[in-house]
Each structure stands twice: as C-alpha cells, then as structure tokens.
Amino acid sequence: MPRTGTPGFVLVDPETLTTTFVPLPDLAAQNDKATGLIWTPDSNGLALTLSTSVDEPTVTGIRIYDLAGRVVRTVPASGGPLDDVSFFPDGGQLALAPNSGGVRQTSVTVVDPVSGALQHSFRVPLAGGLIGWTDDQHLLIRVYHDAGGIPASDLPAPVLGPGDDEYDRLLVVDLTGRVTHSMHLPAEDAEHLFIGSSAGLPSSAAKITF
C-alpha cells in the first residue's frame, strides 16, 4: 500500500515482473489503522484488518477484496489492536491474535472466515506473536525471550526448558492453548518466519522441525 496518493495495492506477474496497480478507494473506511494486506488461501483475493482508532485501535472486522479491488465480504471480528491474521490453507478457519502491547500473554481466537462465528478462543500466558497454522488443530506462536516468563492472570506459564532467556521460542499449541512442542529459534535476529514442509531437510534441521 502506498504511503501517499491513491490507496491500493500492486500485483506483480511472477514471470514477466510487470505490475498492475489496483486502487482501493474505500481503504480508509472503518480502517483508521490501515494494517497490511494478506493473501486469502485461494490466492484470488486479499484480506485487510479493519479498526476504528489510531490511538487506541479496536478491531471491527476483516475485509476481503478480490484482485480487482472489489469488496467480497466483511468478516465480523472484535477486540483490541490486531497484529496477526492467519488463514488455514483450506480456507476453513481464520486465526486472529492481538498485539501484546506489553501484556504478558498471547490471546488467540479462531473464527469462521465467512460468518465470523467464534470457533475457538484461548490464551498462552507469555507475550508472543502468531506465526500461522501447522495443521488444522495446531498453531505456531513465537514467544519473545524478554517476556520474562511471568504467567498472566490465573494461567500457568508453559514449561519451556533451559536457556529460555537466550532467544525467542517457538511453541506449537493446540486449539485449547496447550503447548504440544517447543523449540528455540536458531538465531536472535530472525525477523520473518514461514512454515513449510520438513520433507527432504537434513538431520541437522531436527531442532527446528515438529
């Protein structure tokens, strides 16, 4: 999305690298925060988080656009400032996680991507961010190493093992918030993380597979 001028997005042809600018004239409508766009699972559209305030953003929904910039639908959603949105690859589930904002917990809701109906809701009592789905029953969460490991409210902190203050951790959690697997990030400066198949990786990658 451009910083100035007409709001919209640019599509790039992967073979010719030609670009097409698609205007989104209603981008600011119910979207004071203007967070980034993400692809829908079928690659036929884009999703945008809607919010109502810059100073204290409150999520109001997820707007789905087609690749011509037309609004397909708006998925109802509500909550505090939202950082992470992740579709399950088949499009059947949508996970939402708010910005931690200094709160020592990670709250996650899973909704129907068409109706917005709540399917699951849970908390992990350590500050972190949602990375994405590992399968249809598990999500990957990055726990920040400086979160302090302090439990939030009445929830016990997950047992992560030694060396937890060195680097961030990756937690595989089920849809109740139970940690089923944890691992250290191999580097402290990993800015972007992506989930892919572990097929064909060497044995040296065992520490970062699950």
Q: What is the pLDDT of residue 98?
A: 67
3-state helix, strand, coil in the chain (%, to 5): 5, 40, 55
- pLDDT per residue as tens digits for the range 82-114: 557 778 878 888 888 765 555 556 778 888 888
Q: What is the pLDDT of residue 2?
A: 53
Rg, the chain, Cα only: 18
* Token pair for 136: 């249809």
pTM above 0.85, yes or no: no
Write out residues in the chain with pLDDT < 50, as ranges.
148-165
For residue 108, the model assigns a pLDDT of 84
